Chain A
């Protein structure tokens, strides 16, 4: 059997899918409505988001779901007829996810 990177990317896709499934709905609910509907003050949410564990939470919620997107988008683009991009899509998609992960680590670790 040919060696392939597929298992690595599939694992990241799967992990990102779990993270997005469990944490995205409630986090969107909070970021969309909690402050704008005055349930919590912006200062309060800002204080929470700055804490180390919250920074780690935000980092995980950026990185793994980006890899989830990368893997799914890579194949759905082919399904939608973008066959000419077959060669470059993996580099664009996983590259973007890697870039986002690096940016998130930098911003949340040193910001």
Chain B
């Protein structure tokens, strides 16, 4: 001990790797966190699709590839789960006061859900113009 620092042996509680299987709430937390893999996967798909913008045949082939469609069918519910958990947290992040009264958290979440539906409808409408 020449540096004058006392080294203590701190106890680190062992954490089994399968801790998240022990309770439903832990499991749902892990599902939520793992939705990021599908977010990443779809971003990679968009990158692939973008790289085929110069070649209509390759662009079409990717969109019609059964494996790519199957992966998107799996990704869709996972991404929707991300959306739902994300929007359900909005009232916790966004606390709005009107004078003395706190705006109802349900109202804030509902406004975000409404915005999600509106944005989705607008995108669908834009795409429908290219039919």
- Assess whether A66 is in contact with B43, with CB atoms less than 8 Å apart: yes
- Assess whether A104 is in contact with B127, with CB atoms less than 8 Å apart: no
For the A-B complex, the count of residue pairs with Cβ-Cβ distances under 8 Å equals 151
Measured between beta carbons, the chain A residues less than 8 angstroms from B130 are 40, 44-45, 47-48
Q: How many B residues are at the interface, by size bracket?
A: 35 or more
Q: Which of B1-9, B68-76, B97-105 binds A?
A: B68-76
A91 CB-CB contact with B under 8 Å: no
- Assess whether A24 is in contact with B39, with CB atoms less than 8 Å apart: yes
- Assess whether B49 is in contact with A79, with CB atoms less than 8 Å apart: no
Please give me the residue from chain B that is nearest to A39 by CB atom. Answer: B131
- Assess whether A42 is in contact with B46, with CB atoms less than 8 Å apart: no
Interface residue count for A (Cβ, 8 Å)?
Answer: 53
Given A24-B83, A47-B130, A111-B50: A30 and B124 interface contact (C-beta under 8 Å): yes
Given A44-B130, A111-B53: A69 and B39 interface contact (C-beta under 8 Å): yes
Interface, chain B (partner A; CB < 8 A): 15, 17, 20, 30, 33-34, 36-37, 39-40, 42-47, 49-51, 53-54, 56, 59-60, 63-64, 69, 72-73, 75-76, 79-80, 82-83, 86-87, 115-116, 119-120, 123-124, 126-128, 130-131
